[in-house]
Structure 1
Amino acid sequence: MKKRIVIIGAGPGGYVAAVHAAHLGAEVTLIEKKAIGGTCLNVGCIPTKVLLHTADLLNTLKSDAKRIGVLVDNVRLDWKALMRRKNLTVSRLGTGTLELVKSNGIEYVEGAARILSPQKVEASGHTFDADAIIIATGSVPDVPDLPGYDLDGVITSDEALSLDQPPASMVVSGGGIIGMEFAAAYAAFGTQVTVVVTSPEVLRNLDTDIALILRKALEKKGVAFQTSCSIPKVEKSNGALKLFLETPEGNQELVTEKLLVAKGRKPYTEGLGLEALGIQTKRGRIVTDKHMQTNVPNVYAIGDCVNDYMLAHVASREGEVAAENIMGNVVEIDYLTTPGAIYTSPEIATVGLMEKEAQERGIAFKVGRFPLASNGKSMITGDTSGVVKVIADEATQKIIGVQMVGGPATDMIAEGALALHFKATPEDLVHTIHAHPTVSESVMEAAANVFAQAIHTPKK
């Protein structure tokens, strides 16, 4: 008899879990109360990258076209056309995802779900029996409960994707990935952008040298930064927003058209009935084991409602792990090879440990660096401000971290993830022939520089 699995949420965690479970022979019902694809497809990964792609092209045409031998006059943004392209991309991917789900024999139900018991889920006026349940309800923007944060003009990343036109000015509150990506995009669209962060530096989870490369690049494009600063209050002022800032130099005021609150996201589990079931949570997140199972047998949870990563690719892998365990295979989630990607210009990508994390853990390590300024393909494209870092454990010689800035870093990081997965050494990367000329040669050269042996690094 087939196992029946009910999955709540059809984002990159939920629909991947559904398809994988169907491949393994389960009878699957997938329930979604908004749009298939979740945050990632509709108001996250996909639409933001559409904006960032256009922003990158604009920057190239405005500042770099003449250098590469292209003469372009009157370069300007067609905002309405960009919005149409964004919406069309989202629509096409949504249609394709729904067709994918249905082609695998999965029952797709539109409506809000409530868990009645570990064996029953209610949605859209029907009750669905289940041998196992997977909760994949995602997250929502986290907006502080502070004076004025409910005013018109105070927006989240959701609204920033669908404005009527680029604002003349925007303050971005938050220096994480979401804040940096929107700052980069809107600066290219002609908005005067100021980034306000409470920490001394942006992207505080990264090593400082990596974060500074991006900050300097954005400053060259007109983005201003105010660090160690908070915005405890917002007021309306002559049709604009007046922000009250607390800074190390004292209180200040800043007037802007839009305030983008990019302070992170919080799990969304409203209305599921977790409390009645006794499902354990911690700081709003559902607690699971390495098999993605909650403290209630046969109830699993994946994605943004579970962990701090809040990445689509993590949710997808967790969905596969949950499906495997429900179907009788013992599989554990491994976050070691989780890549992080920031789609600014320059791009940033990381996997494994940062230098500061290795130091905090007391690991003796060596670092190999290779600047993109010494890479042939980067010289061709003009994207030479970045660097590749390979971090290796001195005792085991295994690679424990890879960081990249510049070039197609978000695509290249897969090599670093693979190296960590197979417990590779820097020599393994060095002995792998890389095509020339490619930016990926910089990974090989950085690995060689763990031992100060990169071919294209001058001897000191």
Structure 2
Amino acid sequence: MTSDITYDLIIIGGGPAGYAAAIRAGQLGKKVVCIEMERAGGTCLNWGCIPSKALLKSAESFQAALHSEVFGFSCKEIEVDFEKVMGRSRKVANQMGGGIEFLFKKNKVEYIVGKGLVHAAGMVEITEGEKAGTYLKGSRIMISTGCKPRTLPEIAVDGKRVMTSREALAMTEQPKTIAIMGAGAIGAEFAYFLNAFGTKVTLIEMLPKVLPVEDAEISDALHKSFAEQGIDCRVGTRVDSVEVGENGVSLTLGNDEGSESLEVESLLLAIGVVPNLDGAVSEKLKLDTVKGYLKVDENYETSESGIYATGDIVGPPWLAHIATYRAIQAVNGMFGHSQPVPVDAFPGCTYCQPQVASIGLTEEKAKEEGIEYKVGKFPFAASGKAVAVNHSEGFVKVIVGEKYGEILGAHIIGSDATELITEYGLAMKLEATVDEIHGTIHAHPTMSEALAEAAAAAHGEAIHI
């Protein structure tokens, strides 16, 4: 059956790229339909960014209660209902999913729960769901099917002994011991969450540091903090073998010093993502790809005219805020509202405690590119607000051009780092210098004062260190 409606835009995928594109197209008065297999919001909202942050807040609250004596009172015999902790995260995700569905209605976006298959430019088949067998016609198609967790071919994911982030977000029983492969943002966040509630965590990373993409000084600080919290961080370490048994998982770890065995209840794979194009594009339709990701031009159009792609499916960086940005740029461009602006500097955030956030160049990258730079640093231990609220761990680090004082990069580790990074992001967008950050009056006492002090420190003018 072919629908008698011709859409201005058919979107496959309802994650941060797909739903944002649909809403933006609706704002522009276009006839748009969004097809999503599960629930509006995609992986990020339902099985990633949002529910994981709910879990992390539970972990932070529990740790705050355990250490409440610093504020002059104590909480004794605290009981944790792990199933309720996990259940709250699902409620948060469901609430936000309902919010996206409301926005679809508000902006007159048609929403189909099902699976879409692109046969050719202008033609999409619904292959699963209540409308399976229906063909949709549209002048433009956007593929925003995102990514899925990378797994190991020889290890079956069963949701108990072996998990990816998706299965970990649906746990009802807390493992007593767990090994986490991969110390990127996902691995670090789950390591913090589970350790905070008492799980013995071994965090394993092949590269020489945790959070490998971050500035080395930041990574070293997080490694030290994790170790103090009781997380066993094994960097520069391989997983040479994995054997899954009925009651646990046996791993053989290897590094320059030799090998050792590790026995744990569960294994969490946090080793990256792979493109998710399964069943989204007809075998007869040959779209250009790069390492499995859809190749697009500056307008987000694929090699087939009239078929666009945005979000994680076009490749790194695999971040929800980048997916949304790309999607809005693509829609504005395809309908002649404005020329798409390419992704430039963008924040990266990890929501463990202490939090980590960064934008722009690391110090290592500045050296590699032969850039003349200087560094401004300010520790939260010298911040009155940070000490008052018992969050004095960490520091702000800004990389500054030697000649003009332009902000090349900013790196923060500490409480609220993921909120604070935005000021430096805006400064870089406006091409501000550290002098303008320093010259902006920051309220006292606030955590944000550390941003101004770090900027001042680049010139040796910080007041409080």
Could you tell me how far apart the structure 1 residues matched to 2:422 and 2:282 are? Answer: 36
Pick one of 361, 366, 369 that aligns with 1:361.
369
Pick one of 318, 321, 344 that aligns with 1:313.
321
Q: What corresponds to 2:285 in structure 1?
A: 277
Q: What corresponds to 1:36 in structure 2?
A: 40
Could you tell me how far apart the structure 2 residues matched to 1:311 and 1:151 are? Answer: 24
Could you tell me how far apart the structure 2 residues matched to 1:157 and 1:377 are? Answer: 35
Bigger drift between 140-149 and 219-228 goes to 140-149
Q: Is 2:399 the partner of 1:387?
A: no
Bigger drift between 370-379 and 332-341 goes to 332-341
Q: Is 2:9 the partner of 1:12?
A: no
2:355–2:413 Cα contact (<8 Å) kept: yes
Q: For residues 390-405 of structure 1, what are the structure 2 equivalents within 5 Å?
A: 390-405=398-413
Q: What corresponds to 2:115 in structure 1?
A: 112
Q: Is 2:111 the partner of 1:103?
A: no
Q: What corresponds to 1:234 in structure 2?
A: 242
2:13–2:146 Cα contact (<8 Å) kept: yes
Q: What corresponds to 1:174 in structure 2?
A: 182
Return the TM-score normalized by structure 1.
0.96
Query: Alignment partner of 1:305: what SS?
Result: helix
Q: Is 2:94 the partner of 1:86?
A: no
Query: Alignment partner of 2:455: what SS?
Result: helix
2:299–2:334 Cα contact (<8 Å) kept: no
Identity percentage of aligned residues: 36
Q: Is 2:196 the partner of 1:188?
A: yes
Residues 355 and 106 of structure 1: is their aligned pair in 2 closer, same or farther, counting only changes over 3 Å? same
| Partner amino acid, structure 2, of 1:92 | Q
Aligned residue pairs total 456
Could you tell me how far apart the structure 1 residues matched to 2:384 and 2:286 are? Answer: 58
| Partner amino acid, structure 2, of 1:102 | K
Could you tell me how far apart the structure 1 residues matched to 2:283 and 2:447 are? Answer: 51
Residues 286 and 258 of structure 1: is their aligned pair in 2 closer, same or farther, counting only changes over 3 Å? same
Residues 217 and 354 of structure 1: is their aligned pair in 2 closer, same or farther, counting only changes over 3 Å? same
How many Å apart are 1:330 and its aligned residue? Answer: 4.2
CA RMSD for the aligned pairs?
1.7
Could you tell me how far apart the structure 2 residues matched to 1:34 and 1:88 are? Answer: 16
Q: Deviations over 1:331-386 (max 9, x none)?
A: 23432231111101011111111111122222111211111111111011121121
Query: Alignment partner of 1:378: what SS?
Result: helix
Bigger drift between 277-286 and 436-445 goes to 277-286
2:405–2:435 Cα contact (<8 Å) kept: no
Q: What corresponds to 2:3 in structure 1?
A: none
Residues 149 and 246 of structure 1: is their aligned pair in 2 closer, same or farther, counting only changes over 3 Å? farther
Could you tell me how far apart the structure 2 residues matched to 1:139 and 1:130 are? Answer: 24
Q: Is 2:231 the partner of 1:223?
A: yes
How many Å apart are 1:228 and its aligned residue? Answer: 1.8
Pick one of 52, 59, 62 that aligns with 2:63.
59
How many Å apart are 1:151 and its aligned residue? Answer: 9.1
Q: Is 2:206 the partner of 1:198?
A: yes
Bigger drift between 391-400 and 178-187 goes to 391-400
How many Å apart are 1:150 and its aligned residue? Answer: 6.7
Q: Deviations over 1:205-247 (max 9, x none)?
A: 1111101111111111111022222223222456211112222
2:22–2:109 Cα contact (<8 Å) kept: yes
2:250–2:261 Cα contact (<8 Å) kept: yes
Pick one of 112, 123, 138 that aligns with 2:146.
138
How many Å apart are 1:274 and its aligned residue? Answer: 5.8
Could you tell me how far apart the structure 2 residues matched to 1:364 and 1:373 are? Answer: 29
Q: Deviations over 1:243-273 (max 9, x none)?
A: 1222222232111000001001111011122
Q: Is 2:426 the partner of 1:418?
A: yes
Pick one of 333, 336, 342 that aligns with 1:325.
333
Q: Is 2:130 the partner of 1:122?
A: no
Pick one of 52, 56, 61 that aligns with 1:48.
52
Unaligned ranges ≥5, structure 2: 1-5, 127-131
Could you tell me how far apart the structure 2 residues matched to 1:188 and 1:55 are? Answer: 6
Residues 360 and 290 of structure 1: is their aligned pair in 2 closer, same or farther, counting only changes over 3 Å? farther
2:122–2:139 Cα contact (<8 Å) kept: yes
**Superposition misfits of 4+ residues, deviation over 3 angstroms:** 146-152
1:292–1:333 Cα contact (<8 Å) kept: no
Pick one of 64, 74, 85 that aligns with 1:71.
74
Could you tell me how far apart the structure 2 residues matched to 1:239 and 1:18 are? Answer: 46
Residues 143 and 432 of structure 1: is their aligned pair in 2 closer, same or farther, counting only changes over 3 Å? same
Query: Alignment partner of 2:444: what SS?
Result: coil
Could you tell me how far apart the structure 2 residues matched to 1:319 and 1:273 are? Answer: 19
Unaligned ranges ≥5, structure 1: none
Query: Alignment partner of 2:98: what SS?
Result: helix
Return the TM-score normalized by structure 2.
0.95
1:5–1:132 Cα contact (<8 Å) kept: yes
Bigger drift between 316-325 and 361-370 goes to 361-370
Residues 121 and 335 of structure 1: is their aligned pair in 2 closer, same or farther, counting only changes over 3 Å? same
Residues 80 and 150 of structure 1: is their aligned pair in 2 closer, same or farther, counting only changes over 3 Å? closer
Could you tell me how far apart the structure 1 residues matched to 2:135 and 2:278 are? Answer: 19
1:172–1:260 Cα contact (<8 Å) kept: yes
| Partner amino acid, structure 2, of 1:224 | D
Bigger drift between 245-254 and 327-336 goes to 327-336
Residues 151 and 382 of structure 1: is their aligned pair in 2 closer, same or farther, counting only changes over 3 Å? closer
Query: Alignment partner of 1:244: what SS?
Result: strand
1:166–1:190 Cα contact (<8 Å) kept: no
Residues 71 and 183 of structure 1: is their aligned pair in 2 closer, same or farther, counting only changes over 3 Å? same
